[in-house]
Structure 1
Amino acid sequence: MPTRTLRRCAPGLVLIAAAALYSLVPLLSMVSAALAPQGSLPSGLSWPSDPHWHNFIDAWNVANITTLLKSSTLIVLGVVPVAIVISTMASYAIAVLDIPLGRVFYTVLVLTLTLPYEIVIVPLYEQVRAMGLLGTQWALILPLVGMNMPFAVFWMRAHFVNVPRELSEAAGIDGASPLRALRHVHLPLARPAIASLALLMFLSTWNQFLLALVLIDDPNKRTMAGALQAFTTKYSTDQVLLNAGALLIMAPTIIVFLFLQRHFAKALLQGSVKG
C-alpha cells in the first residue's frame, strides 16, 4: 500500500480498531468470568489458571437451554420466512409494478415506524386474548410478522427502486409475467438484500423479550432472551453461571451474523453505490 494512501486511511483504521476493541473487551471479559470457579467473584480480564469449562454445561442445564432453543427456533422459523415473502412481494408491487395507491400504502407503513414500540403492547395483548392465542407461540409469531412489515417493506423497496427498469421491460418483451420476472430476474439480484433482512429479523426475533414476557406465561415457550430473565432471577448472585448462560444465549446470534455478514456488507455496499 502506498505511503500516501496509508496516511489517508490511517484515521479510519484507527477508528475501526477502536470500535473492534470496544466490542471485544466486554465479550472477552465475559468468557474469562464464565471459566472461573463457581461462587467466585471474577473481575477484569484475568484468565483463570484452571478454566472450568463445565460451567457452560451447568448453565445450559440450569437455564433449560434445550427447551428454549427449540422454542426460539420454532418462533424464528414462523416469523422470518413469512415476513420475507410478504415484504418482498409487497415491495416489488410498490416499487416495480407501481400498483394503484402503492405510495399511499408505503407512506402509511413508514409512518408506523415512528410509533413507540411500547404503545402497541396493551391493545396487542387484548387482541391476542380475544383470538384465543394467549400463552401460545402463535401469540408471538403473528404479531412479530406484522410488526416486522414496515421496516421489511422499507428495506426491500430501497433495493427494488435501484434496479434498472430496463430489466423489467426486457422481461416483459420476452413474454414474462410479473411473477415470473420477480422469480427469475429480480430475486437473484435481491439475494444480498434478502439475506441481510433475514439477519436483522432473526436478531430482533431471537432477542425478543418484552412481547414474549407479556404474551406467553409459560417460560418454556418463550425466546432465548426469556432464559436469561429466569436465570437472573434464580442465580443472580452467581456471576460465573450468569456469564456462562449469557454467552450460550448470545452464541446463535453471533454464529448467524458471521455466516451472513458477507451478504449484509454486500447489500450496504450496493445501496451506497447506487444511492
Structure 2
Amino acid sequence: MRVSAAERTMNYVILVLFALFAAAPMVIILRTAFSARLGETGDFHPGNFIDAWRIGNFTDTFINSVVVAVIVVVLAIALSTLAGYAFATMRFRGSQVLFQLFLLGLMIPSEAVVIPLFFDLRTMGLTDTYFAIAMPQVAQSVAFGTFWMRAQFRSMPRSLLEAAALDGATAVKGLTRILVPAARPSIVTLGVLLLVWTWNEFLVALVMAPSGRLRTAPLGLANFQGQYTAETALLAAAAVIVALPMLLVFVFLHRQFISGMLEGAARD
C-alpha cells in the first residue's frame, strides 16, 4: 500500500505533537531542578542535585533499590523462563489448572495481600529484610513473566526442539542453547519491564520495611517530599535523581531492542 505525501506529513505532525506532549512535563521538571532555591538568585543551579542527593541520603536508598532490583529481576527471569518453557513445550496432568493459578497472580492486586503477608512475615521474623521486600515482588513478577515466556516459546517452531532431541540434546540443553538465545529480545524486554516495576514499587517496600532502614529510592523521594515541600527546586532535583537510572536503562538498551527485533525478522 502506497502512502501519499499528505498522509505521511500528517503522521509526522501527529507524532511530533504526541512527543511534545510527553516531553513537556519532563522539560518543566528538569528546568525546575536547575532553578534557584528560596533566597537564591540566578537561573542555573546544578548544585541542587548535590544538595538533594546529600539531604535525601540517596546513597543508601539507591543501594537498597539496586539490591532489591537485582534479586527480583534475576530470580523472576530465571523462574519465568523455566515455567514458561514447561507450560509451552510439556504436557502433564494438571498443567492447564496450574497455569490458571499462575494467571491468577495477574488478577490479584498487591494491595489485597500485602497486609496479611506482612503479618505472616513478621511472625517468621523476616520483616525489615531484603527477603521481605523482594520475594513478594518476585511472586508477582513470575506470574506475568510465565505468561510472557510461555507465549514466546509457543510461537517458536517445535522443529527446533525436535531437531535438538534427535542430536541427543536434553530438555535443559534445548532450553539454554536453542530457545533462550532465540528468545533474547523477549527476555531483554521482560527484564526491562521487571526492572522498572521493581524500581518504582512503593507499597511493598513501605509495608515490609516499617523501620525505614531499608528504604528504597521511591520511599526516599516520598520522605524527601514530606520534609521539603516548599523547596520545589530540590524536589524536582530529587525526582530527576530517582528517575534517571531507569531513563539510562531505556537509552542504553534501545539499540539492543532494535537489533534483537531485526535479527528475529532476518531469521524469519
Counterparts of 1:44-59 in structure 2, within 5 Å, are 50-59=43-52
**Distance in 2 of aligned mates of 1:109 and 1:265:** 30
For the 8 Å contact 1:68–1:220, the answer to whether it is kept is no
| Distance verdict in 2 for CA 1:105–1:15, change over 3 Å | farther
Task: Give the letter for the 2:20 counterpart.
Answer: L
**TM superposition shift of 1:49:** 5.7
Q: Does 1:207 align with 2:200?
A: yes
Counterparts of 1:67-78 in structure 2, within 5 Å, are 67-78=60-71
Task: Give the letter for the 1:15 counterpart.
Answer: I
For the 8 Å contact 2:32–2:236, the answer to whether it is kept is yes
Counterparts of 1:100-119 in structure 2, within 5 Å, are 100-119=93-112
| Distance verdict in 2 for CA 1:117–1:265, change over 3 Å | farther
For the 8 Å contact 1:71–1:223, the answer to whether it is kept is yes
**TM superposition shift of 1:128:** 1.3
1:110-151 alpha-carbon deviations (Å, 9 max, x no partner): 133122331111111112112211111211111111111111
**Distance in 2 of aligned mates of 1:33 and 1:186:** 47
Counterpart of 2:125? 132
Counterpart of 2:225? 232
Q: Does 1:149 align with 2:148?
A: no
**Other structure's SS at 2:100 match:** helix
For the 8 Å contact 1:71–1:222, the answer to whether it is kept is yes
Counterpart of 2:85? 92
Counterpart of 1:257? 250
* Equivalent residue in structure 2 for 1:243, among 213, 230, 236: 236
**TM superposition shift of 1:190:** 1.0
| Distance verdict in 2 for CA 1:40–1:26, change over 3 Å | farther
**Distance in 2 of aligned mates of 1:61 and 1:96:** 52
Counterpart of 1:16? 15
TM-score by length of 2: 0.91
For the 8 Å contact 2:49–2:241, the answer to whether it is kept is yes
**Distance in 1 of aligned mates of 2:82 and 2:189:** 17
| Distance verdict in 2 for CA 1:211–1:270, change over 3 Å | farther
| Distance verdict in 2 for CA 1:23–1:167, change over 3 Å | same
Task: Give the letter for the 2:190 counterpart.
Answer: L
**TM superposition shift of 1:39:** 1.6
For the 8 Å contact 1:88–1:156, the answer to whether it is kept is yes
- The number of aligned residues is 265
In structure 1, list runs of 5 or more residues that go unmatched: 42-47
For the 8 Å contact 2:106–2:140, the answer to whether it is kept is no
**TM superposition shift of 1:27:** 0.6
* Equivalent residue in structure 2 for 1:64, among 33, 57, 60: 57
**Distance in 2 of aligned mates of 1:212 and 1:264:** 30
**Distance in 2 of aligned mates of 1:10 and 1:77:** 44
Instruction: State the Cα RMSD in Å.
Output: 2.5
**TM superposition shift of 1:55:** 0.6
**Distance in 1 of aligned mates of 2:39 and 2:228:** 13
- Structure 1, 93-102 or 124-133: larger mean CA deviation: 93-102
**Distance in 1 of aligned mates of 2:213 and 2:51:** 18
For the 8 Å contact 2:105–2:140, the answer to whether it is kept is no
For the 8 Å contact 1:84–1:152, the answer to whether it is kept is yes
**Distance in 1 of aligned mates of 2:131 and 2:38:** 39
- Structure 1, 55-64 or 94-103: larger mean CA deviation: 94-103
